[in-house]
Structure 1
Amino acid sequence: MTTPVISAWSAISPYGVGREAFVNGVAAGTPAVTRLSPDQWPVPQRQTARVPGFVTEEVLGRKGTRSMDRVSALAVAAVGELLDSAGRHRTVATGEHAALVLGTTAGSARSMMEITRDTLTRARPYHIDTARIPNAIMNSSAAQCAIRHDLKGPNTTVAGGRAAGLFALRYALRLLSSGRARSVLCGGAEELTPERAWLEYHSGDPARPAVLGEGCSLLLLEPEAPADAPVLAEVLGVTLGVFRDGDLAASLTRCLSRSLAQAGATAADLWAVSPSAGQDPVPFDGADPLTLPGEDVWGDAGAAASPFQIASVLAAAERDPAARGRIAAVLSADRDNVLGCALFRLR
């Protein structure tokens, strides 16, 4: 059996548009957080981590973007950035057998709330802007990516909040192992809008408002190492699970231990760990892996959180020769009591 590999990745993040901006931002370790005035941001959270300068019409052009919501624009732009990063990527990752698996929290909160509002405030409920109706469907972003970039294989949206990227990765591996796709673009996307900010404010702890982020990060997965391109990492596996309230740290440690055992590895093989938001470094006897940055530098990116974690692993590995041949672990958990661990062997 062959081992699925990552041959490319892209990121549109609070560090900026493009892979290079993310690599430089992670290397600098500087938080990509800005403070906005009430006039700029009419919600209680003053600090945000927005993608700077991202205007849909300027990034994607005016054609076909009049009704496109922000999360779809971020995803479409991230797909385009990955496909354009090397000549072979558009050949390998488009067409009949090219799949897309996109993680989400619940699609676009803004689109759903705007349409609901219009049905109540317009003269007739059916007077809503029909061009915006598709945006209220959770899989709208993935569908628009497929239409715009000629992705004709399986097209899937997986909901899972902060852990959605790992859910999507697990799904993508199944597509490859079953032969349903020859390549998969896999990741997650989240938008930062006042509507999402209000939902997070009322569902979280008002005394400790989260610094919300946004963006999209994608991997190009192939079923085996290609002959015409370098491999960035092998995907050794993804382990998913659930946890009880108050048992997150122990559950993540157990999940990581199971993942290592299934991969035939030990804690001594770990080069780095990207912990879940708010989690302390995982303790291991005789091992001291590097702890990579996370939500503290790019904010609570929702469904883009674990894809950003994977991107940070790949970005850090580029600059550290000690990573070659070693294993990195990405841990993620969502407040809805789901969690996951993904293992990668760096090349």
Structure 2
Amino acid sequence: MRRTVVVTGAGVISALGCAPAEVHHALTTGRRAGAIADFDPQAHFGARNARPLDRLAQFVAAAAGLALADGGCSPEHRRDRPVGLVLGTMFAGVRTICAFDRRALELGPEYASPLDFANTVLNAPAGQAAIWHNLRGPNATIAAGVASGLQAIAYASELIASGAADAVLAGGADERAPETLDALARAGLLGREDAPAVPYATDRDGFTLGEAAAFVLLEAAEAARERGARVRATIAGHSAGHARARDERIDHRVVSAVCRAALDEAHAASTDIDAVSAAGSGSVDVDACEARALDLLFGDRAQPVPLIAVKAGLGETLGASGPLQLMAAMEAARSGCLPGVAGLESTDINVTHVDIRQEARPLRVNTTLIDAIGWDGHCCAIVIDTAANDA
């Protein structure tokens, strides 16, 4: 028998704050920031030696620690019961990887840093965070482009639902490294540098790169009840797929089908969805594809579905984006306020069944669809239910 999976904690390191409520307030007031400028390792790690952790691993370990603390998952609890960790990332510690290679190529192999070498593999941040927080359950790293973080949550949910784990930290992280900026610019994916990108805007020409780490603590519902944990949301359904067609365009029909499969697993009709926490980033093609997919999905609604676009405030945070979207949905449910799309003055998105607007609005949110779509075709969808949460 499959087990019910619930969210009992959340933690975030971002340019708009280090608490979900703080990030939500920034989004509802239209604040926008991409780079993390004031991260203080000592504030999160105290006197412990964080030198073996590179910058991204520090983000991951800090966000994981915040999620554990928010969920009341103490070191004593983790000592008695294994907690897993699943991290989604697109580039992992690319800054460290490139620095390690560059030093060895330019100065010679004898100058390659053994300390940096441990951080040059994709799963290093997940391993470092598990060691740091004594997480002895399953440990995995998911690499699925922009969809990595949301897929990590879906995979962790499956581990718990199937009985393979009782509790798993799940989320994603990526940093704004010079090498990432250069690669995305060469690929023609970044927008203009003089202003932050606005999802769904008429004049959008690419996204603004952000950075963040974000985790949720997932548990089997009975395990959460047993230890008296607060329930923030229930993972009601999830699905994933690949939507890039042979002509290299993203097929909106596949994206819509992935979202439909998540709704079906959640036993939810399109009319049951109160809001969508969407993947819009400022990408010309992906934003349009997503809007068409949602318009198709919600075509039987009498009223258009309201939309949240967290990337309007935080930029494209790659592996962290899906978990941030899920947190935004939980905070909208808690506060009764749905953030708008910051900076949106006009849109060329011609849809009937999706409500895209600049202003924040009061809204009662019980059931939310979260979607993640990458320009490479990876897509994922999760449905959460917050109607019976304890927040």
Normalised by the length of structure 2, the TM-score is 0.78
The CA deviation string for residues 267-293 of structure 1, in whole angstroms up to 9 with x for no partner, is 110011012222327222224322112
**Distance verdict in 2 for CA 1:234–1:89, change over 3 Å:** farther
Counterpart-to-counterpart distance in 2, 1:55 and 1:248:
42
Moved more, 278-287 or 193-202: 278-287
Answer whether contact 1:119 1:126 (CA < 8 A) is retained.
yes
Counterpart residue identity of residue 57, structure 2? S
Answer whether contact 1:71 1:107 (CA < 8 A) is retained.
yes
- Of residues 95, 98, 103, the one that matches 1:110 is 95
- Of residues 127, 133, 136, the one that matches 1:149 is 133
Answer whether contact 1:276 1:332 (CA < 8 A) is retained.
yes
Counterpart residue identity of residue 32, structure 1? R
2:384 paired residue number: 344
Secondary structure of 1:222's counterpart equals strand
Counterpart-to-counterpart distance in 1, 2:132 and 2:59:
13
Counterpart-to-counterpart distance in 2, 1:81 and 1:200:
30
Query: Shift in Å at residue 334 of structure 1?
Result: 1.3
Query: Shift in Å at residue 128 of structure 1?
Result: 0.8
Q: Does 1:213 align with 2:210?
A: yes
Counterpart-to-counterpart distance in 1, 2:39 and 2:313:
19
Answer whether contact 2:8 2:71 (CA < 8 A) is retained.
no
- Of residues 370, 382, 387, the one that matches 1:330 is 370
The CA deviation string for residues 221-269 of structure 1, in whole angstroms up to 9 with x for no partner, is 1111532133111111210001123344332222222222232210110
2:351 paired residue number: none
For residues 68-147 of structure 1, the aligned pairs below 5 Å read 68-85=53-70, 87-92=72-77, 96-122=81-107, 124-147=108-131
Moved more, 261-270 or 201-210: 201-210
2:291 paired residue number: 280
Normalised by the length of structure 1, the TM-score is 0.87
Q: Does 1:295 align with 2:311?
A: yes
Counterpart residue identity of residue 21, structure 1? E
Counterpart residue identity of residue 212, structure 2? G
Counterpart residue identity of residue 229, structure 1? A
Answer whether contact 1:95 1:152 (CA < 8 A) is retained.
no
For residues 8-19 of structure 1, the aligned pairs below 5 Å read 8-19=9-20
Task: List alignment gaps of at least 5 residues for structure 1.
Answer: 34-48
Secondary structure of 1:135's counterpart equals coil
CA root-mean-square deviation: 2.2
- Percent identity, aligned pairs only, is 26
Counterpart-to-counterpart distance in 2, 1:177 and 1:258:
17
The CA deviation string for residues 282-306 of structure 1, in whole angstroms up to 9 with x for no partner, is 2222243221122111101010011
Tell me how many residue pairs correspond in the alignment. Answer: 329
2:240 paired residue number: 240
2:196 paired residue number: none
- Of residues 281, 302, 307, the one that matches 2:323 is 307
Task: List alignment gaps of at least 5 residues for structure 2.
Answer: 193-204, 281-286, 338-362
The CA deviation string for residues 135-191 of structure 1, in whole angstroms up to 9 with x for no partner, is 111111111111111111111111112100122122212321333321000000111
Counterpart residue identity of residue 267, structure 1? S
- Of residues 260, 263, 278, the one that matches 2:263 is 260
Answer whether contact 1:56 1:70 (CA < 8 A) is retained.
no
Moved more, 265-274 or 208-217: 208-217
Counterpart-to-counterpart distance in 2, 1:6 and 1:59:
22
